[in-house]
Structure 1
Amino acid sequence: MCVERRTHGSEGAGTSDGSPLPGVGKLYYETLKYLRGGKNPTADFYKGAKASNSDGFPVITNWDDPVQYSCQKNYIITIGDVHTWCDKRLPGDTHGSVGNSVCNAYTDANGNAHAADYGSLAGDSGVNVSAAMSTVGTLEGMSGLPTANTGAGGAGFGMAGLSWWAASKDFRPDLAGTQHVQSYVIDVQEARDCGYQSQFWLTAKYGIPDSYDAAGQWLTTANPAMSSITLPAGNCASNPPPGYSATGSTVSWPKNLLRAGDPQSMISSVRSAISTIAAQIGDEAALAQSSGTLDTGTGAYIYRATYNSGGWQGDVQALAIDIAGNIAAAPAWKASAKLPAFGARKVFSFNDGLAADGSAESTANARTGVAFDAAHFGSLSSRQQALLNADPFGTPDTLGADRISWILGDQSKEANAAGTTTANPNPNYGWRSRAPSATTGATDLLGDVINSNPVFVAQPSALSGVGYAAFAQANRNRRPALYVGGNDGMLHAYDASYTVDASGAPSPTSTSGAELFAYVPSPVYRNLPQLMSPNYSHKFFVDGSPTVSDACFGNAAGTACDAQASWKTVLAGGLNAGGQGIYALDVTDPTAFGTSKVLWEFTDRDDADLGYTFGKPVIRQLNNRKWAVIFGGGYNNTAADGSASSSGRAYVYIAYIDGPGAGRRWTLNTNYFKIALPAAGESVSTPNGVSALAAVDRDQNGTVDILYAGDRYGQLWKLDLSSATPGNWKVDLAANSQPAPLFTAKTSGGAVQQITTGIEVAAHPQGGYMVLFGTGSWVDVADPFGPFNTESLYGIWDRDDHATTVARSQLQPQQMLSYVTSAGVACTAGTDGCYGVMSNCQPNYAGVAKTTAATALCPSALVAPSNTGQRQLGWVFDLPGSGERTRSSAPTLSTSGGVVSFTTLMPATDPCTGNTIGIEYNLATLYGGAPSSPVYVFPNNATGFIATGTVPNSGTQAVNVVVSSRTIAGGATDNGATFNASAAGQAIVSGQTAATRQVCGGTSGIACDSSFIPGWGFVRNLQGPTASAALYGLTCFPAAVGDSTPVCVAKTNPGRFGRLDWRQINR
């Protein structure tokens, strides 16, 4: 950014140290020189520069190259007024005189001699300003531009020529591809000078790369340089553009020339320029892949959520999968094509009960569900109305009801007519157009779906409790629904009904894919006006994945659910980076959703220690027999939003599922509870945080006894909820009378490894549990960029003795030994068809002395010392890739529990190619190495073992190995969806025999058995007599290209081991 600065005093006088007034053309040239890779500033311009005359800014004379990547977008923002001075002495200048005496040669107070301001500046042959100005003059019809004077005194049009050159030419020929600079100019309009054809006007007009063709020629049609704006009455006292009227008029104006004639418009113009730039930069993740996991509902469809960064629109699609594992290329339905018309949608919200200043208010609708439409704008809280009655910059207006209508699909106030690229002829507000001109894809009213994974819900599951059987029977034929959050501000519920033909093939109904209802959580209101901005830069809204479970309402603490209580199917969700809150909805019958079905919200206004709610909530019964929504306190709870944490400490929250009741507020230790997770070094500036949880029912009585949670300081916590008394719920372990973590994840060098993704739990054969998780963060903006920490996958043995903590030195290390193809030939890691061979060193869990020695699959560097008798307490695998870290919401256990699967992601080595690499790891749950039996199914390989001589300790003999990892094309944001199969490539429903290969539910006439769990679909992780029928599975991941058919691979379900029953564990 270059800012023209002038000292106070008369026009034409020099600055206070005797130098002439600064020239904006020279400022622009220096900025461009910096972008061109210049190492030092122009010496003539910096003579005498020192701290005493730099207004407190640093004087930097050694420059680092700001262009880091060949696809990087580059911008210059210039702020000043058109009355410029002394800026002609640039490379190639042909002026013959200074044009004003203040631009003469002079010597400053420190004895530095300065040349007169005209003629060519030596030392830069890469650009010729005179030739560039000549081209601009020809395009604009202004002759003599190279030698013309402009501004208040002695200025030229050099900045305009440089802007044209940087926008139309490759300003960095030393880099791959073609590099351009886009220029924005903010004119403070001194003396109401509108500056028509000034150098500010021309700089903005000719500084847009999209105004030129591939050869750098000015476009004569569809040129985006100019736009129509309305100038108020009296706006221009001088130099008005053609068509201007003193009483107000619409004129043609350079799109990148922003007016700032008063302080408020100055702020608005700066914000507009920066937000426009941010919108064009986009997000690396938008380059290649669909979002989220591919969740299975009926076993017949894969549901895929997608996004397009061109206009930040999204979609949800259903893809059929047959019993042979073939996925249909064409979606059975797309939600974008079935969205109800504006005025027909059913959308709801929650009145947060807050006054405009954030204090509590008492109104009839306070803290209750409300309709979200223009007609019910007055039903919102005063705070919510105030947030909607403001433009994207916070300037108050009275357009809140219209903003609601825009969100719901009303396109009458958009800049372009609905679905077209033609300017809207009707009265409008110029809001963002959801039309082809504003996107790279089709017009779409649905927002992008990035981190929210679709959840399918149909029949109730098999729980116990008085009254539950009647509840399940009454709802066995309810409308199946698919729930997913969107960055359009809403959780969406889509009709997922289907029919099944005689062969078991699914078909959509006439209503499949239609939106049943939507919900707008109150924490997202702060950013809702941003959605309308023509310069919209992506924001997160309802970005979290929901959880759905049946639960009992109305029973008193200490009493079991009885016939007087009621059962409901509850959806609870967080917002990820979209806000600080949790919401709960009654989705027992999604076709009958209304305001009374909005159960409650819990936000940082209820408890200031709540942060941005990453991670899926857990819905479980507690040991006092009450049901609750349990969730991590999230991240960045010290954000300055009027309700910030004073400590930055992480907490786990437990909120009774029936909430405080309509109109009532939450009360700590009455209807919600929280458990502190302290960390050394936590503070307001470096807050801790916790997201995903794993809950375990130790005694299989249907209540949660243990919670595991990981935080941003690398601490793995174990919480004891086994008491029926809430006051006894606490961290399980202690040191020096203070809560202590079970384990702290650190590299071998002692660097903290954040735990931000999910946790899985399996039984250990010697008692206690294996707690399985990976490390690394994809939460912060800087996470994709180095330098990188080494991250790891862990299996920690919790002996469940309320005393033992674990250190890294007590873990058995594992490592990747080599990479091979399915034929056993060495290959390059990260390439398609290349598999990893893991070590399989055995931890000493017995704690007795034994002789150890290196083997082909356990190198000597990993072998534990012989005869020490030291008990090991788990395993660790340091991820080998640069920047590699876990990305999945939680690891996934095989049917038997013997193998745990992780997905990791490595940042693109070159963001310009989007070559993100994903790896799927399949490790032995108990020791973290290669599984004992094959995981992948290969053609013409009956055993699944691969013979290879690439293992370092194999010598001259080929070794039969089980490969453990493979590359996922384009990366993966979560674990894949898995279907059971009776033979490789034959997907069948869990719980059915190989002979029948039938589907259940819908119109099939076959009842779904207990393997169906709401929110999970048909769970392949069941431990039971029917699970052994599934000898193979298909695991499916999104394809590398967002709209491509997902890719599935056949995998085995290896031998049985310690998988907890689903009733014991819930995430």
Structure 2
Amino acid sequence: MSTEFSCKASLNMILPALKGVALVLGFAYATSVVATPAQLPLLTRSSTPAVPNVMFTLDDSGSMAWRYMPDSIGPTGNQRWEWVFHPGDNPGGSYTARPITTRAAANNAGTDLMSARMRSSAYNTIYYNPEIRYQPWYNSDGSQLPNANPRAAWTNPNNRVDVSTAAARTTAVNNGRAVRLINEDGTGEITYTTSQLWCKSRNDGTANSTAVDNGTALNCHNITGERFAPATYYVHNGGNFTTAANFTRVRIAIDLPATDIPRGAGRTDCVQSGTGRSCTREQELQNFANWFTYYRTRLFLSIAATSRSFSEQGTELRVGYGLINQPATVVDGVSTRTVVRGVRNFQGADRTAFFNWLHSAPANGGTPLRRAMDDVGQYFSRADNRGPWGNTPGTDDGVAATSHLQCRRSYHILMTDGYWNGDAASTAAARGNVDGSNGPTITGPGNQSYSYSPAAPYSDGHSNTLADVAMYYWNRDLRPDLPNRIRPSDTNPAFWQHMVNFTVGLGLTGTRNFPGDWPALQAGSLGWPAPVADGPTTLDDLWHAAVNSRGRYLSARDPVEFSNALSSILAEINDAEASEGGVATAGAALEAGNRKYVPVYRTGDWTGNLTAYNLDANGQQLTAAWNAEQSLPAHGSRNIVAGTRNEAPRAVPFTWAGLTAAMRAEMGAGASEALVNYLRGDASQEGSTYRRRSARLGDFVNSQPVFVKGLVDMQYNFLPVGTPGRGDYRSFVAAKRERNGVVFIGGNAGMLHGFADTPGVNATTQPAGREVFAFIPRALLPGLSALASNSYGHRYYVDGPLTESDAYWSGAWRNVLVGTTGAGTPSVFALDVTNPTAMGASNVLWEFDRTVDPELGHVMAPVQVGLMKNGQWAAVFGNGPFSAAGRAQLFVINLQTGQLIRRIDTGVGGANGLGGVRLIRDANRVVVGAYAGDLRGNVWKFDLSNTNATAWGVAFGGQPLYTAVDASNNPQPIVAAPEYVIHPRGGYMVLVGTGKLYEEGDESSSQPQSLYGLWDKQQLIQGTGGGWVWSNDAAQGPITLPSSIVQQNFSSTTIAGAGGATFYLVNSTTLDWSQHRGWSLPLTIVGGHRNLVTPQMVLGGFALFETMSPYSDQPPDPCDAVNSGVGFNLLINPLNGAMPTEPVFDTNGDGVVDSRDEVVSGYRTEADGRDSLLYDRTTPSTPTCTPGTPGCDEDEPPCAQPGKRLFSIQGTSGSTLGCLSTGAAQRSWRQLFQFPQ
């Protein structure tokens, strides 16, 4: 399995990953410099996920040997024929479950209706379809069995013989191990010398004439000497299927030209031709031979699709397998039916065993699906060490059963081609009307309680159904001896150990229209029918079973649909484990109105996804609205552009034809049209030429989503009078709120993505979650080929933060998105996102990378944007670590052109780099300065107040405002941007947190880190020529005395809150501003405690510091939402470092913040990235009666105290309500950032 994380904790970015991430190791700056940041998520590599159990049950009934689908086109009632397309077709086993006296092959005459229909994929969906590429079965290592030979195509892939020479082929054909589809000389018709019967329709060419009733002689004759063309298919030309004239026969070796046969995009074995493909006759014959050998029966088709889907999976699954007709055998010490082998880690010999079993699966028996599902449910109910919950299933490791993982999920994938019949469930309780009855009460952590109550779309009035069996193993606790720690999801509320069923129907339809009837079934206006064995209502029951167990039902008509269905099921299993199951789940998120956007990533194949969640009025997460992978356009339709590094045009379409010769050359020797198509999402050459992926989106680790619509208001209407655009800014802000929105996020498949999402607006023209734009910076082109390598490990591409801002040039306001590649190849870029849903190459403004300036390092903090005193709009950022000179430097870039305005060098090197920047703006919103920290612990102030850019420089005569060191005098690295507030005595209080997390070794560092509040006394004053400048009063200089910083400390006492929550206290000392210049708060809650993100200002003047440690003070627990780190949300008074003086959080869990709660500073949470804040600034409602008194059914508002307002700290997997004093009057959202991973 690919372990998926909700992008909170990843690894190498300075600012991206965990929720309370902060500092990292203290390293010796005199040592050699690492060339690049770590290229794997530091916070997740050591974690041990709760690998899910997956039982795959294959239908091995006799109908799986049939050569046609669906069942409705075969014999019914007393009819007694079975269609065989080739007289030599004998893969082993019986041809039919019905006794017949002859084997009937389709007549060679082109006008025979039976032959036409059964050899047309439009009618018989299992038959050869020239628009599908048929590939051999897959092995455990992703390799494939050999292509079939049209001159001697094997009748059974498991009974292959040598067909490399003409003599060997003749022997194979004579021995019945192969058949000829063409002659040795390549001609199309062959002569049969064996004695076989050749039969045709009784009333040739008329309706209802494809079968013969019992007792009626078949219209057959001996075919000895008959000439026919086996490699033949029929094209249905429209009209009914009962008239032979509606079909056209195509004999591949006779009727098709040698070259230039037009085919669709699915024929990836052929050359590209426009939007389709162009095949040769030899390719068509090869494809037909592969179909015959590997796909011509239902069983073969199932093996082909299953082998491909499972070969794409990583090792983080525990897979078992079974057959619905498997008799009772001893499985891991217990007599069991259906299950052939219990779950095992999907690797090594156990992985090989699965594929060996799959390739040799039989087809003989009935379809006892109810009993089979019950058998699997009983297997998942085992509690012994050798069973599915054991730490090493199949062996007894001697541990107590109560030590089994409590959050491991269990899935059952049931594939069938037929209506169920035969045995009912062996478990008596599973044979009742389970979904029509109340279920048992199940309890879990945090006072959770659940009891199933019959309701649509689950309940019905019928007993002894497959859906009842599914419900029985869903609403019962399969391991009552274990605590219930399964993480619920939007589609599955179960927090107890249970079984989820995914069901796949091959070539079948029921009485309910799938999926069209789903809304009516959900609403209860349409019910489930009573299943009748061997009838179409059992297909409805198969769908119902998936619904009851909160799985999914999929219907497949051909090998492509089957493979896609199974792959989507396995992807969903991986997604559930990644985002909810137990490693660092949920990374970055942001809220836009009523949505929250949460990216995830899978470590197995390094793919990802972005999910939008609806929120209620209190910011509580509701259902998922969409996910990007499901809405991604076809690879040929995606709007992807690649930057040209400021050449004209600034970007070109990312297609082979669109790339310039120089750009193709930069991609390396392996660059080709196929590689470009692969990077766009084409999966046709995965597993052979290129690396397999379970999804087309790359992993989202450190980049945070940014919702571009109407959230940004820079208050530029306060710009100095006469500034261009000042008078139009309010209208521009209003116009932004009316446009369609797009969520932008950087990904590690080499590109920045934009996904449309404007709830309730233009849902037809811009489907929610659909990718509308993607951008590849040119600096990344040389590394793109690595993404396709079968030996790909992981590296970062567009992994840095994004910043949305506004600017004015050329007579118009612009909405601009500035991003960085983070730990990827260094680059900073800007896009015009004024009209975000209609973007193209012309929206790329510029790129700034090391080819422009080698002093650019890895920029892993958000870029700042503003109007400079010289009248230019600029992007401002620190150079980051790993620059050419290794010194801390500030970049100021022209926002319109990308040209360098000024680079300010602090002169301090030693493996140094400047971190995140916070711009200082005057009362007119013009930039006059900036704060930033570096890796040597220096807090720098830059003077940008001169109208002449050449005069800009480091404030305080080139000295830092302060240098942060630990008790051993080691520099404390600063990577997060500072924040500042106005100091009541003039100047600014600068808030800084220390720590880093982007190099190998950072995750294990225990160097002490701290939070600081530093008083910068320097004040803005009116300059002689007008405008604001910095005072040069010597008394307002930097902080030089360590004793002027008062140390505050965390209390050793913690508060145990409701639901297992832990709250923390701060012991503080009063500051004397006549002698003190600030405060410090050592991060000592756990070892490795650090700060990696900029503090946020909250209601009541408090600062929210989100800190973290990459390792917990407790043993790693795979069942924790984050087990590779721990986070802390802390409310601190920015002026003195103290905690609040009255209750702010609901510590007792009664849903109300009042005097009954404890006074605390903050609480323990997940290390999942920077949270966002939702303020409810409306006047709280007052109950009309006293809550809790007799006759009053109103709840007490969570924050109804006079002068108080509710706020919500939004994490990626939950939220926390608080109550603080405020005078604001509106609700606003703030973006959620994430820690570096």
Give me the TM-score of the superposition, normalised by structure 1.
Answer: 0.55
Could you tell which deviates more after superposition, 465-474 or 913-922?
465-474
**Structure 1 Cα separation of the partners of residues 356 and 970 of structure 2:** 54
Q: CA deviation at 1:626?
A: 1.4
Distance 1:774 1:373, change over 3 A: same
**Structure 1 Cα separation of the partners of residues 809 and 46 of structure 2:** 56
* Pairing partner for 1:805 from 1027, 1038, 1053: 1038
**SS across alignment from 1:907:** coil
Q: CA deviation at 1:946?
A: 6.7
Residue in 1 aligned with 2:198?
none
Residue in 2 aligned with 1:964?
1161
Give, as a single letter, the amino acid of the residue that structure 1 aligns with 2:641.
F
Give, as a single letter, the amino acid of the residue that structure 2 aligns with 1:523.
A
**SS across alignment from 1:453:** coil
Give, as a single letter, the amino acid of the residue that structure 1 aligns with 2:716.
L
**Structure 1 Cα separation of the partners of residues 603 and 865 of structure 2:** 34
Residue in 1 aligned with 2:685?
413
Residue in 1 aligned with 2:481?
none
Quote the sequence identity (%). 28
Give, as a single letter, the amino acid of the residue that structure 1 aligns with 2:1167.
G
* Pairing partner for 1:296 from 591, 597, 603: 591
Give, as a single letter, the amino acid of the residue that structure 1 aligns with 2:951.
N
* Pairing partner for 1:519 from 756, 775, 781: 775
**Structure 2 Cα separation of the partners of residues 872 and 400 of structure 1:** 65
Residue in 1 aligned with 2:204?
none
Give, as a single letter, the amino acid of the residue that structure 1 aligns with 2:1143.
P
Note if 1:433 corresponds to 2:433: no
**Structure 1 Cα separation of the partners of residues 783 and 607 of structure 2:** 17
Distance 1:593 1:446, change over 3 A: same
8 A contact 1:489–1:524 mirrored in 2 = yes
Q: CA deviation at 1:760?
A: 1.2
Residue in 2 aligned with 1:211?
348
* Pairing partner for 1:544 from 800, 822, 834: 800
Note if 1:843 corresponds to 2:1071: yes
Give, as a single letter, the amino acid of the residue that structure 2 aligns with 1:837.
L
* Pairing partner for 1:979 from 1174, 1179, 1183: 1174
8 A contact 1:290–1:305 mirrored in 2 = no
8 A contact 1:980–1:1030 mirrored in 2 = no
* Pairing partner for 2:789 from 518, 526, 533: 533
Distance 1:404 1:635, change over 3 A: same
Q: CA deviation at 1:292?
A: 3.6
Q: CA deviation at 1:765?
A: 0.8
Residue in 1 aligned with 2:835?
589
**Structure 2 Cα separation of the partners of residues 905 and 284 of structure 1:** 20
Alignment of 1:69-468 (within 5 A): 210-213=347-350, 219=353, 221-222=355-356, 288-298=583-593, 300-328=594-622, 330-352=623-645, 365-366=647-648, 368-378=650-660, 382=662, 384-388=663-667, 390=668, 396-397=669-670, 399-415=671-687, 430-435=689-694, 444-459=695-710, 461=713, 462-464=715-717, 465-468=726-729
Residue in 1 aligned with 2:1217?
1050
**Structure 2 Cα separation of the partners of residues 445 and 69 of structure 1:** 26
Q: CA deviation at 1:1053?
A: 2.4
- Number of residue pairs the alignment of both structures matches: 626
Residue in 2 aligned with 1:905?
1109
Q: CA deviation at 1:609?
A: 0.6
Residue in 1 aligned with 2:821?
575
Residue in 2 aligned with 1:1004?
none
Distance 1:925 1:933, change over 3 A: farther
Q: CA deviation at 1:286?
A: 11
8 A contact 1:210–1:224 mirrored in 2 = no
Q: CA deviation at 1:794?
A: 0.8
**Structure 1 Cα separation of the partners of residues 1209 and 831 of structure 2:** 31
**SS across alignment from 1:374:** coil
Give, as a single letter, the amino acid of the residue that structure 1 aligns with 2:634.
A
**SS across alignment from 2:779:** helix
Give, as a single letter, the amino acid of the residue that structure 2 aligns with 1:622.
M
Distance 1:348 1:507, change over 3 A: closer
Distance 1:712 1:732, change over 3 A: same
**Structure 2 Cα separation of the partners of residues 582 and 367 of structure 1:** 18
Distance 1:310 1:908, change over 3 A: farther
Residue in 1 aligned with 2:1146?
937
Alignment of 1:710-859 (within 5 A): 710-734=933-957, 739-786=958-1005, 788-800=1006-1018, 802=1032, 803=1034, 804-806=1037-1039, 807-821=1041-1055, 832-845=1060-1073, 847=1074
**SS across alignment from 2:831:** strand
**SS across alignment from 1:468:** helix
CA displacement, residues 1001-1047 of structure 1 (integer Å, 9 cap, x when unaligned): xxxxxxxxxxxxxxxxxxxxxxxxxx998701111213xxxxxxx21
Distance 1:912 1:1048, change over 3 A: closer
* Pairing partner for 2:1079 from 875, 881, 894: 875
- Greater C-alpha Rg: 2
**SS across alignment from 2:1161:** strand
8 A contact 2:643–2:776 mirrored in 1 = yes
Give, as a single letter, the amino acid of the residue that structure 1 aligns with 2:1054.
V
Residue in 2 aligned with 1:616?
862
Larger relative contact order, structure 1 or 2 (CA cutoff 8 Å, min sep 6): 2
**Structure 1 Cα separation of the partners of residues 642 and 1010 of structure 2:** 41
Residue in 2 aligned with 1:648?
886
**Structure 1 Cα separation of the partners of residues 1107 and 763 of structure 2:** 32
**Structure 2 Cα separation of the partners of residues 676 and 223 of structure 1:** 66
Q: CA deviation at 1:530?
A: 0.8
Note if 1:490 corresponds to 2:490: no
Distance 1:467 1:899, change over 3 A: closer
CA displacement, residues 878-933 of structure 1 (integer Å, 9 cap, x when unaligned): 11144434354311111232344333234256668534211111111111122223
Residue in 2 aligned with 1:238?
none
**Structure 1 Cα separation of the partners of residues 821 and 689 of structure 2:** 29
Distance 1:842 1:654, change over 3 A: same
8 A contact 2:1203–2:1221 mirrored in 1 = no
**Structure 2 Cα separation of the partners of residues 402 and 507 of structure 1:** 33
Q: CA deviation at 1:620?
A: 0.4
**SS across alignment from 1:765:** coil
8 A contact 2:579–2:600 mirrored in 1 = no
Give, as a single letter, the amino acid of the residue that structure 2 aligns with 1:1032.
L
**SS across alignment from 2:676:** helix
Alignment of 1:1029-1040 (within 5 A): 1031-1038=1205-1212
**Structure 1 Cα separation of the partners of residues 1103 and 346 of structure 2:** 53
Q: CA deviation at 1:334?
A: 0.6
8 A contact 1:832–1:967 mirrored in 2 = no
**SS across alignment from 2:805:** strand
Give, as a single letter, the amino acid of the residue that structure 2 aligns with 1:675.
I
8 A contact 1:211–1:223 mirrored in 2 = no
Give, as a single letter, the amino acid of the residue that structure 1 aligns with 2:595.
Y
Q: CA deviation at 1:479?
A: 1.0
Residue in 1 aligned with 2:905?
676
Give, as a single letter, the amino acid of the residue that structure 1 aligns with 2:1012.
Y
Distance 1:945 1:886, change over 3 A: farther
Q: CA deviation at 1:337?
A: 0.8
8 A contact 2:991–2:1095 mirrored in 1 = yes
Give, as a single letter, the amino acid of the residue that structure 1 aligns with 2:600.
T
